[in-house]
Amino acid sequence: MAGMEANAESYVCGVSDAPLVYQTIGETLDEAVRRHPDRPALIVRRQNVRLTYAELAAAVEDFAAGLLALGLKPGERIGIWSPNNAEWVIAQFATARLGLILVNINPAYRAAELEYVLNKVEARALILARHFKTSDYVAMARALDGELPHLEEKIVISDETVEGFRRFSDVAAAATPALRADLRDIAARLSPDDPINIQFTSGTTGFPKGATLTHHNIVNNGRFVAARQRFTEEDRLCIPVPLYHCFGMVMGVLGCVTHGAAMVFPDEAFEPQSVLDAVEAERCTALYGVPTMFIAELDHPSFKGRDLSSLRTGVMAGAPCPVEVMRRVIADMHMREVTICYGMTETSPVSFQSMPDDDLEKRVSTVGRIHPFVEVKIVDAEGKIAPRGAQGELLTRGYSVMRGYWGDPDKTREAVDEAGWMHTGDLAVLDGEGYCRITGRVKDMIIRGGENVYPREIEEFLYKHPAVQDVQVFGVPDAKYGEEICAWIRVRAGAAVVEDEIRAFCKDRIAHYKVPRYIRFVDDYPMTVTGKVQKFVMREAMTKELSAPATRAG
Ligand code: AMP
């Protein structure tokens, strides 16, 4: 593999015997059906759904034809706002088949965030769940009546009729032979280079940015992620990670479909017990998760006595994995070929992945080696390439780099330079063999339980509270979530406010995982001489306060 040879500079480029494939998502599904029509494709335990590849393709065709009957056209945007279910996967392929750009909306979003993203992409249609946990999606969508000028069609995933919404099953039932024929004509005109998916990642500007990905981006990335785990049609992957994120829909769904493997969804959202049940009952060979998910599974009271011997491989990604956890995943969960991935939404997502036979040390201290056909370099603060072993910002180039942020050429130019390098904002070190270590973040992003949280977005929201004069948000280390969110607030002169009022202000207006766990009222912030706020000083002070048992909060 290139990148392994001694090279004084921090640059690697991956190679592979298998070339990139140049096909649409629809063609990818067609190929799976041709090769493995009767093999299991989609298992959704909560819904009792079990579809072979041929059955999945038929469900996809019906829903695609139904969308066509609604007058939706290639290139138009259609949102999906739902936890994991069979309809999500069917919609992913049906929209791609019709050339509709699927816009993934985080199921934890509330009305204000939904309004922003739907209007940003000028979505003509929205597929939404009925409700989940404390989110009543239908009520939130109704509350936005009149605020979504482009939205014409609302499709609800529900057995019951809901006034003002079409039912998912009714849309699919409208399919006719003529519509199916039209669909085939449309499919023949689509290009793998067309944008097909927009994934919103929270932005430092305070608004989420829509990373726009093509068929070619995500078909190939999903394929290589699964290839490195040595997937075949015999594999059965347990997917507890969310479909709205590329971990679910690209690494999970497209990883399986490119190899004819089975997708097993244990539940609508992560629950350790349902994951363990699914692995055991479905004899899963692979399991995905962020480190906190694996910790919850290992710590579950029912873990002992489980038969997880069918497991072989999987992916742990999104945050660094503690060595003890990795040891137990290999020994107690039998995932001896588990791999680590590193990447970001803007790069489809994966750039680095460990090999199933990399030694334990490498698998916990690094994110493995470069992916096929991807280039990475590490640069110093001036943008000059760093020598091997030196820390700098990680830049990625290749087939996997997004088309851009939807409707935001300025932000796109800031992220992807003229030579095509995506500036990730992550700090990393490349060793002499090409293994990469992620060492921090240039930006201040907080990762709480695998969710990216950008302080600026929460700050801008909290500024709207009448008693808030100024606010600084940052992450503090947390045993359970990796990081927790802390806000230091300066209160307006003459105003009075308590912690619970701030939390109540956040509730139902921003996603629950963005609500600060720790809130402190302060007179001043630590500043540099040039007047820049020093978040790292606040972080240190809070970390000290929280680790002192007498003053431990909440
Ligand atoms: P997202 O766009 O949501 O996939 O988040 C991408 C960010 O997650 C990256 O820019 C990294 O900061 C972080 N990340 C992803 N994978 C890893 C990993 N294996 N180790 C450390 N950080 C990671």
In the predicted model, is pLDDT for residue 542 greater than 80?
A: yes
Q: Which residue would you say has higher pLDDT here, 430 or 453?
A: 430
**Residue with tokens 């997708």, as numbered in its chain:** 263
| Residue 375, H or E segment | strand 374-379
CA of 245 to the centre of ligand 1 (A): 12
Other Cβ atoms within 10 Å of 65 Cβ, number: 24
Token pair belonging to 244: 């709205």
Q: At 239, which amino acid appears?
A: I
CA of 133 to the centre of ligand 1 (A): 27
My answer on whether omega of the bond before 349 falls inside 30° of 0, hence cis, is yes
CATH T-level topology, domain 448-547: GMP Synthetase; Chain A, domain 3 (3.30.300)
In the predicted model, is pLDDT for residue 287 greater than 80?
A: yes
In this prediction, residue 416 has a pLDDT band, given cuts at 50, 70 and 90, of very high
Other Cβ atoms within 10 Å of 139 Cβ, number: 11
Q: With a 6 A CB cut-off, is 452 part of the ligand 1 pocket?
A: yes
Q: With a 6 A CB cut-off, is 84 part of the ligand 1 pocket?
A: no
CA of 447 to the centre of ligand 1 (A): 8
Q: With a 6 A CB cut-off, is 438 part of the ligand 1 pocket?
A: yes
- What confidence score (pLDDT) does residue 4 get? 46
Q: With a 6 A CB cut-off, is 201 part of the ligand 1 pocket?
A: yes
Nearest-atom number in ligand 1 for the CA of 316 is 19
Q: Which residue would you say has higher pLDDT here, 552 or 284?
A: 284
Q: What are 198's strand-pairing partners?
A: 103, 212
Q: With a 6 A CB cut-off, is 187 part of the ligand 1 pocket?
A: no
In the predicted model, is pLDDT for residue 551 greater than 70?
A: no
Ligand 1: residue of 396, 452, 453 to mutate (most ligand atoms within 8 A of CB) is 452
CA of 453 to the centre of ligand 1 (A): 12
Tell the burial category of 177 from Cβ atoms under 10 Å away from its Cβ (0-12, 13-18, 19+): exposed
Give pLDDT tens digits for 459-478. Answer: 888 988 999 988 899 999 99
Q: Which residue would you say has higher pLDDT here, 93 or 204?
A: 93
What is Dmax (Cα atoms) for the chain? 72
Q: What CA dihedral angle connects 115, 67, 213 and 234, to 10 degrees?
A: 120
CA of 441 to the centre of ligand 1 (A): 9
The three-state secondary structure class of 242 is coil
- What confidence score (pLDDT) does residue 205 get? 46
Decide if 246 contacts 110 (C-beta within 8 A): no
Distances (CA, A) of 59 to 5, 62, 101, 265: 48, 5, 19, 17
Decide if 242 contacts 248 (C-beta within 8 A): yes
Nearest protein CA to atom 15 of ligand 1, as residue: 318
Nearest protein CA to atom 13 of ligand 1, as residue: 318
In percent, the amount of the chain with pLDDT more than 90 equals: 81
Nearest-atom number in ligand 1 for the CA of 352 is 19
| Whole-number Å distance between alpha carbons of 360 and 185 | 50
Question: pTM for this one?
Answer: 0.84
Give pLDDT tens digits for 128-179. Answer: 999 998 899 999 999 999 999 999 999 999 999 999 999 999 999 999 999 9
Give pLDDT tens digits for 290-317. Answer: 888 998 999 899 999 999 999 999 999 9
Nearest-atom number in ligand 1 for the CA of 346 is 2
In this prediction, residue 381 has a pLDDT band, given cuts at 50, 70 and 90, of confident
Q: With a 6 A CB cut-off, is 340 part of the ligand 1 pocket?
A: yes
Looking at domain 11-425, what is its CATH homologous superfamily?
A: ANL, N-terminal domain (3.40.50.12780)
CA of 306 to the centre of ligand 1 (A): 31
In this prediction, residue 364 has a pLDDT band, given cuts at 50, 70 and 90, of confident
Nearest-atom number in ligand 1 for the CA of 452 is 3
Distances (CA, A) of 329 to 296, 310, 358: 12, 13, 15
CA of 154 to the centre of ligand 1 (A): 33
| Whole-number Å distance between alpha carbons of 112 and 136 | 14
Q: With a 6 A CB cut-off, is 365 part of the ligand 1 pocket?
A: no
Q: At 389, which amino acid appears?
A: G
In this prediction, residue 532 has a pLDDT band, given cuts at 50, 70 and 90, of low
Cβ burial 14-45 (10 Å sphere, 16+ → b, else e): beeeeebeebbbbbbbbbbbeebeebbbbbbb
Token pair belonging to 530: 């040039």
Q: What does 40-90 look like in DSSP terms, one character per residue?
A: EEEEETTTTEEEEHHHHHHHHHHHHHHHHHTT--TT-EEEEE-SS-HHHHH
Give pLDDT tens digits for 34-43. Answer: 999 999 999 9
- What confidence score (pLDDT) does residue 1 get? 44
Q: With a 6 A CB cut-off, is 241 part of the ligand 1 pocket?
A: no
- What confidence score (pLDDT) does residue 531 get? 53
Q: Residues 535, 541, 546, 552: is their CA dihedral positive or negative?
A: negative
Q: With a 6 A CB cut-off, is 345 part of the ligand 1 pocket?
A: yes
- Domain ranges for the chain, please list them: 11-425, 448-547
Ligand 1: residue of 447, 451, 454, 457 to mutate (most ligand atoms within 8 A of CB) is 447
CA of 509 to the centre of ligand 1 (A): 26
Whole-number CA gyration radius for the chain: 23
| Whole-number Å distance between alpha carbons of 549 and 553 | 9
The three-state secondary structure class of 210 is strand
DSSP letter for 338, please.
E
Q: At 156, which amino acid appears?
A: V
The three-state secondary structure class of 422 is strand
Nearest protein CA to atom 1 of ligand 1, as residue: 344
In this prediction, residue 528 has a pLDDT band, given cuts at 50, 70 and 90, of low
Nearest-atom number in ligand 1 for the CA of 246 is 4
Give pLDDT tens digits for 189-209. Answer: 999 999 999 999 864 445 789
Decide if 276 contacts 297 (C-beta within 8 A): yes
